[in-house]
Amino acid sequence: FSNIFGYSSGGYGVSMLGTGINITGYSTSSYGVFYQSGSGNDALCSIKAFSTSAIALYIFKNAGKVELSNIDASCSWANSSGHAVEVTGVSNEIRISGGSLRVSNTSANCLFSGSSKNCYFTSLNFSNSTVAVNPNITNLQSNSVDSFGNILIG
């Protein structure tokens, strides 16, 4: 998928399965972008997810690996459940690099999971959250640097 824009006042802005680039989803009633995986490996780049009443970007990964880069996720729902990004599913092969995660309610998390979750994340900007990363999430990123100064993810 590429160059996708979705708006909804009655559901997800964008619901997707698989690999994509340049995805924008906006919802006034649900997730801005809802990503659900199949069993393979996926890559998503340049994702903009916005919601006024739910989590902006919902990532559900049960098998395989997903790499997300250049994310802009913003939730304007003034509620402690108004998280910017939620990661869920049994796979711990979720890699997030680069982007900005914003919430309106300081009690909401920029990066949230409702249960224990391991994933990799680096180079993210967090805004307006007292606890940016939910305590259920463990960052497995080791910050290994290659000979050019690049951080190796995963």
> Tokens 């916005």 — which residue?
50
Amino acid at the residue 142: S
Q: Is residue 111 classed as helix, strand or coil in its secondary structure? A: strand
State whether the Cα torsion 121-125-128-131 is positive or negative. Answer: positive
Cross-strand partners of 55: none
Cα–Cα distance measured from residue 104 to residue 12, given in angstroms and rounded to the nearest whole number: 19
What pLDDT, in 10s, does the model give residues 2-36? 999 999 999 999 999 989 999 999 999 999 999 99
pLDDT value of position 145: 64
What pLDDT, in 10s, does the model give residues 71-123? 999 999 999 999 999 999 988 889 999 999 999 999 999 999 999 999 999 88
Q: Token digits for 122?
A: 């680096």
pLDDT value of position 150: 65
Q: What is the DSSP string of 42-102?
A: EEEEEEEEEESSS-SEEEE--SS-EEEEEEEEEE---STT--SEEEESS---EEEEEEEEE
What pLDDT, in 10s, does the model give residues 34-75? 999 877 899 999 999 999 999 999 999 988 899 999 999 999
For the entire predicted model, the pTM comes to: 0.92
The answer to whether the beta carbons of residues 58 and 44 sit under 8 Å apart is no
